[in-house]
């Protein structure tokens, strides 16, 4: 079992930056791939990025490539999402998830409660 708690969301102006954190508890954290997904108002939840359990491989949605960076610290049971050059269309609730490496939501077994990111124009 893995429990996930996101933090770091907030209100930021377009062009600004935010860093989201995801604190994980549970023995299986270091063996799980970790992903970030987001859900904008009125839209379905979508894949943002994921990182392999070793941290050796990452995958990004085209919409965030070059602006967002995922990282993890297995010693601290933490996953981070550095978001730069934020745009209003990045406004969403961001979720941390643990599971199998990839962009498919059903591959992730554990989810956090989400943290709100709002980007003003």
Render 2-32 in DSSP notation, one character per residue.
-EEEEE--EEEETT--EEEEEEEESTTGGGS
Compute the mean pLDDT over every residue in the chain, rounded to the nearest whole number: 95
Query: In angstroms, rounded to a whole number, what is the distance separating the alpha carbons of residues 109 and 121?
Result: 35
Is a pLDDT exceeding 80 seen at residue 79? Answer: yes
Binned at pLDDT 50, 70 and 90, residue 52 comes out as: very high
Is a pLDDT exceeding 90 seen at residue 54? Answer: no
Query: In angstroms, rounded to a whole number, what is the distance separating the alpha carbons of residues 80 and 99?
Result: 16
Q: What strand order describes the sheet that includes 68-73?
A: 3-7, 18-25, 78-83, 68-73
Is a pLDDT exceeding 90 seen at residue 31? Answer: no
Binned at pLDDT 50, 70 and 90, residue 17 comes out as: very high
% of the chain residues with pLDDT over 70: 100
């Amino acid at each position: 079992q893995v429990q996930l708690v996101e933090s770091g969301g907030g209100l930021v102006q377009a062009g600004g930056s935010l860093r989201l954190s995801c604190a994980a508890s549970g023995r299986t954290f270091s063996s799980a791939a970790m992903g970030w997904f987001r859900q904008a108002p009125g839209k379905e939840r979508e894949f943002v990025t994921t990182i392999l359990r070793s941290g050796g491989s990452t995958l990004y949605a085209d919409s965030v490539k070059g602006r967002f960076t995922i990282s993890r610290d297995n010693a601290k049971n933490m996953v981070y999402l550095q978001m730069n050059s934020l745009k209003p269309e990045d406004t969403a609730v961001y979720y941390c998830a643990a599971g199998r490496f990839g962009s498919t939501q059903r591959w992730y077994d554990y989810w956090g409660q989400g943290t709100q990111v709002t980007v003003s124009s």
